[in-house]
Amino acid sequence: MSLKQIAADFGISYATLTNWMRQDATDAGEREGRTTDQKDELRELRRRNRLLEQQNLVLRRAAAYLSQANLPSKGSTRS
């Protein structure tokens, strides 16, 4: 049975089946490349990095706002 026939039997494309087989070979250490676990970890780290960058931006904006709010206004008699 050919890979094209197997893919058709499963209702997936031939390219999808070959990608799955390639990834399986990588996960088994038979082929170079990132394993599924490494890809999952990288995806999670990128998501976490985006979140931390967003939080950092909010904190910077809040610090800038608060530093402006604490400045004495023009004509203030405060020392």
> Is 4 part of a structural domain of the chain?
yes
Q: The whole model's pTM is what?
A: 0.68
* DSSP symbol at 72: P
Banded model confidence at residue 77, pLDDT cuts 50, 70, 90: low
Asked whether residue 79 carries a pLDDT value surpassing 60, the answer given is no
- The mean pLDDT value of the chain amounts to 92
Report if residue 13 sits inside a domain.
Answer: yes
14 assigned to some structural domain: yes
Is the pLDDT confidence value at 15 over 60? Answer: yes
- State whether 28 and 1 are in the same domain: yes
Specify the DSSP element, H or E, that contains 32.
none
Q: Does residue 74 sit within a domain?
A: no
Rounded mean pLDDT, 48-67: 96
How many domains, in total, are found in the chain?
2
Asked if residue 18 and residue 5 are part of one domain, the reply reads: yes
Same structural domain, 17 and 41: no
> Above pLDDT 90, what percent of the chain?
84
**Domain region containing 9:** 1-33
Distance CA 41, CA 58 (A): 26
Q: Which tens digits make up the pLDDT trace of 26-49? A: 999 999 999 999 999 999 999 999
The amino acid sitting at 30 is: E
